[in-house]
Amino acid sequence: MSDIAMRRGDLVVARDYAEQAIAANPLDANSHNNAATVLLAGGDVAQATMAARRASDLAPQQLEFARRLDYLNAMAE
């Protein structure tokens, strides 16, 4: 649902959906990755990095998550 809200340009709703998804299943790496997308779109690089790190920790086999984390870490430098 957060991706639909993002496409509509509603970052507040997208962030709310992302938070709900994480609350419903905190071990779902995809939910954390989606949250990272929403947070980055909203300009919150620090929180996006934390969400991306959690996604990568939960699913280390997902190269997409590791690449996003590398990108966000580079932004913070």
pLDDT in tens, the chain (77 residues): 777 888 888 899 999 999 999 999 999 999 999 999 999 999 999 999 999 999 999 999 999 999 999 999 998 87
Which of the 8 DSSP states describes residue 61? T
Number of H helices, E strands in the chain: 5, 0
What's the CATH code of the domain at 12? Answer: 1.25.40.10
Q: How far is CA 65 from the centre of its chain?
A: 9
Task: Evaluate whether 69 touches 56 at the Cβ level (below 8 Å).
Answer: yes
Task: Evaluate whether 49 touches 73 at the Cβ level (below 8 Å).
Answer: yes
Determine the structural domain holding residue 15 and report its residue range: 2-76
Whole-model pTM: value is 0.91
Tally of domains within the chain = 1
